[in-house]
Every structure is written in structure tokens, then in C-alpha cells.
Copies of this chain bind each other. A is one copy, B any other.
Amino acid sequence: MRAPAIWLRDNCHCPECRHPGSGQKLFGVTDLPEHLAVEDEWDSGTDVRVRFSDGHVGVLPRGLAAIDGPPADDRAEDAKRTWTRAELGAPPTVDWTAYLGDPDVRITALSSVLRTGFVLLHGVPVRDRQVLDVAAGLGFVRVTNYGELFDVRVEDSPVNLAFTALPITPHTDNPYRDPVPTLQLLHCLSNAAEGGDSGLVDGFHAAAILRAEDPEAFDTLASTPVTFAFSSADAVLRATRPMIGLDPYARIREIRFNNRSLQPVPVHAGTARFYAAYRAFAQVLLRPELTLTVRLGPGDCLVFDNTRVLHARTAFASAGERHLQGCYADIDGLASTFAVLTRETSAADVLAALFAGEGAADYLGESVTVAEHMLQTGALAAAAGAPDHLVAAALLHDVGHLTGPISGNELMSGTDNHHDDAGADWLARWFPPSVTEPVRLHVAAKRYLCAVDPGYADALSPASVYTLGLQGGPMSEQETAAFEASPHHVDAVAVRRWDDQAKDPAVPTPVFGDFTTLIGRIVGSGQ
């Protein structure tokens, strides 16, 4: 698709059009001619020049992507790695000392909040108000009527059930604010009480399950604004929003769910339908397979996306001491910290060094190196006419086998450092889920194909047959169904089939440099 002249003109980078200091546009859309055509276009050697019918000569960076399709939105469901308890294994955990000392570990931790919805920091000093330091390191604290921070422990006259020993079902915090705090931190100072375990649920995944199982209920919750309210001596708060917030492309973007503060909904013919939908969503959120249970110990600090990840806690004995300090912040600040850290590394440069260095290692029992294997896989995808994201997934599917820069990732416990998860998590600093998730699933795809394609297992290499056993063998029927529910499973199977063919030392192998333009297209566009 050719971009219209007005699009090219609006994206002109010449110093007349953009302020050199700030890079901001110096014109408004009404300053541009309404009827505009491109009269000439050439490559200047450093950029693309365009002569418009109004005489202006535009300067366009070569890499300026004319993307089709919905715009990338880091807050929408397709930018997330959704999860069940089983898919996640243990919670993504990062050691506080490593977090402070190693930018690569910080990148991993922040990426986990952005993509998976949370991270557990381990070994944070057990100190009053420490949670504010943690928050200030990843963004900006959002002060509310609770103050800069709040203490979660049993109080005599609680204004909120959080400050009792009662159990609390999965919820998002402060739905009665608008804007709602998008990030929450909970830092454990002591937890000697019986009970008081924390539960986490991926609300985006739960909403997607509701959409698949009961589309009418999903539509009802997405189209019904409801009011949440809170009142205390010094605050009266109300906000009116749907429980499931969608963007104009119907992508899930925000969950607000809190039984405690929901106000009476309007009474009309649709009220019974609303209650059925509310109940159906609440039932999905309570499914044990969606709840990851974490027992916070002193020094643990949970950081989570309060527009997506619901948290819960079991009842506890008010005799034993349990004390958390929490605060709110915003995820746009965290995303900025992540982007500032990652922009200092170029995906293409880091990967090129990795392919040339660690990549020269033997590939477990095969007669090609790891780098040759990945380059061949990428070449097969490109030869098949696969789209950019899928070629990249094929090219990069085994980066988790390499160490070096990925070693920072070893600090992520919880996934047992399977090379599929490790690689996907590490790639997430640059690449969107359309690349990382087929990488994550390419081992599962092997187990899947062994279950559904009788001829597949026969054609595996001896090394691959050996590792199949270690990886869990062919999938069960239940595992097969779960695998097929992933939006990325078809791409993962495609990567897997190229993967299996890419072990031939006799085949001409491309060099990494053949793929740098393609990588730039993906990383540059934020696609």
C-alpha cells in the first residue's frame, strides 16, 4: 500500500517541519494543503526526498515504515504474553542486588511487568518506606488519599477490607479512581501469620477465555459502564467504566474488577443479563488453573500491572504478624524506563555478536553449529514467503541455547530456564509477541506434532528424539487442546517444521547480516 501524499507530508523530517531541538512538528494539519500530490521522489543517499505539488521538498527517513493493520499498542492484549498457572510455572523472579547492579537484569524485570504483567523482586531490604525507593527506580509514585504508601495489616477501624484479616477474592485495586493507578507494588516486611498467601490471575487471559466461551457475556461486560465508589473521612471517589475495557479494534486493554466497591447498576431489561455476565467472569477468574499462588516472605516485592493482573489473598490469623507496604505508580513511567535502558542496545548489533560468538558452539549432537542451524531455519522461513515476524521467530528460535548476554536471564527463576522460555523472555526486550511467542512455543510444537501427526515423530533426528523424552514426550489430549488455544500456535508449528529441516551441513547457509534489514523493520516499527 502506497502512503497518500498527505501522510508523507505530515511525516516530513526536514528542519522546517520539525523543531531540531525537540523533534516535534512545527506545523498543524491545517497548515498543510488539502489537495496534495507527490511530483517527484528520489533517494538522496541518506534519506528519501519527495517533491510535493505545493513545492515543499520533504525529507523522509528510509526506515519510516508504512504499517498496515491496527497500530501497535503496548497496552493491548496482542502485546502481552498471557498465562495460566501451568504455563507460567513459578513466578518470574529477579534478585534485587542483581537488579540494582546489572542493567540487563533490570531490562528483564521491567519486560516481565510489561509482557507477563508482573515480576517478583526477591531480597529487597526489609525497611520501612523501602517500597517507595523501588517504585522511584522504575517510574513515579502516584500519591493518593492513602498517601504515598499504604500499610496492609490488620487495623482496628479499617476503611478498607484490605486492612482486615479477611480473605479477599481476585480484584484490581482502586477501580473507583479515574485514571486508575496502572501499577501496584506490594513489599512484604513480615509474614508470620498462618494464611495470608497471595494469588495472582491474568485478567486479560481470563477475559479472553470468557470471550471464547461466552461471547455474549464478554460483550455485555465490555459495553456496560459500571460505577465503583469509595468513601472515607477524607475522600469520596467514584469512577464509571466497563469491567472489561476494549480499544476500537476490540482488543482487551483494561480490567476493572472489584466486588467490594461496585455500586448499584442501572435497572432495565438488560440487568439480569449483566448479572449473568458478571457471574460468568467472576467464575472464570476463580478457576484454580488461572491462579498463581505466591507466599510473600520478608524482602519480597511484587510489582504488577493493576489494569491487568488481579490479586487476591487468603484469610490469615490476625494473631501472627503480617505487614506489607504498598504503593501505586504508573506503567507508562515503567515503560519509559524500560525503553531508555533498551534503546542503548541495538537488537541487530547484539544478535550479530551473539551469532558470531556463542553461536559457533556445537548444536547438541547435530553436525551444524547453533548459529548455522538458526540461520538455516530463518532462510527456510524466508524461502517459504513467511512474513517478517515469522522469519525472525525462525531465525531466533534457539537463542535460549546461547549464554553470554542471556546469562542475566538465569536470574529469572520460575521457568527452569528451559531454552524456549529463556529465549522468548530475553527477546521480549526488542521483539513483540508475534516473534517471541512462536519462539516460546517451538518446543511445545514438537510435542504437539508428535501427538497429532503420526509421520512427524518418524522423521525426527536422533538428538531430537532423545530430547523429546526430556521435554515431556508427546502431548496429552488436554495439552493438545490448550496448545491450539494459543493465538501463536500455528506460527509455532511453522517454526518447528523449518527447525527440523535446518540441520544439514551440506546446505548453503546465509550470514546474519542478510537479516539485519528485516530485524530493523520489526524493531523500528514496534510492530
Q: How near does chain B come to A5, taking the closest CB pair, in angstroms? A: 9
| Cβ–Cβ contact B234 & A267, under 8 A | no
Q: Give Cα A282 to B10, complex, Å.
A: 14
The stretch among A22-30, A41-49, A194-202, A394-402 that forms the contact with chain B is A22-30
Evaluate contact between B158 and A22: CB separation under 8 angstroms: yes
Stretch at the interface among A122-130, A223-231, A447-455, A459-467: A223-231
**Interface locus among A93-101, A135-143, A313-321:** A135-143
A411 within 8 A of B: no
Q: Are A225 and B21 in contact (CB under 8 A)?
A: no
Number of interface residues of A (CB under 8 A): 100
> Does A265 interact with chain B (Cβ within 8 Å)?
yes
Q: How many copies of this chain does one complex carry?
A: 2
Report yes or no: A271 in contact with B4, Cβ–Cβ below 8 A. yes
Residue contact B268 to A69, C-beta cutoff 8 Å:
yes
Of the candidates B180, B238, B268, B340, the one whose C-beta lies within 8 Å of that of A179 is B180
Residues on the B chain within 8 Å of A161, using CB: 19, 22, 24, 26
Query: Known interface pairs A145-B333, A259-B25, A259-B27. Does A248 touch B237 (Cβ–Cβ under 8 Å)?
Result: no
Set of chain B residues within 8 Å of A21, measured between Cβ atoms:
157-159, 164
* Residue A72 at the chain B interface, CB threshold 8 Å: yes
Give the secondary structure class of A's interface. loop
Interface contact B265-A7, CB-CB below 8 Å? yes
Contact at A271–B238, with CB atoms within 8 Å? no
Q: Which residues of B contact A32 (CB under 8 A)?
A: 279
Please name 17 further chain A to chain B contacts, defined as beta carbons within 8 Å, in addition to the given A140-B143, A140-B144, A241-B247, sorted by A numbering: A1-B267, A6-B275, A25-B261, A25-B262, A29-B279, A32-B279, A34-B279, A64-B264, A68-B267, A70-B225, A74-B238, A75-B178, A76-B240, A145-B333, A179-B180, A235-B336, A240-B247
17 sampled A-B residue pairs with Cβ under 8 A: A1-B267, A7-B264, A19-B164, A19-B166, A22-B158, A24-B160, A25-B261, A26-B161, A28-B282, A29-B259, A67-B267, A70-B225, A74-B240, A75-B240, A179-B332, A236-B339, A237-B336
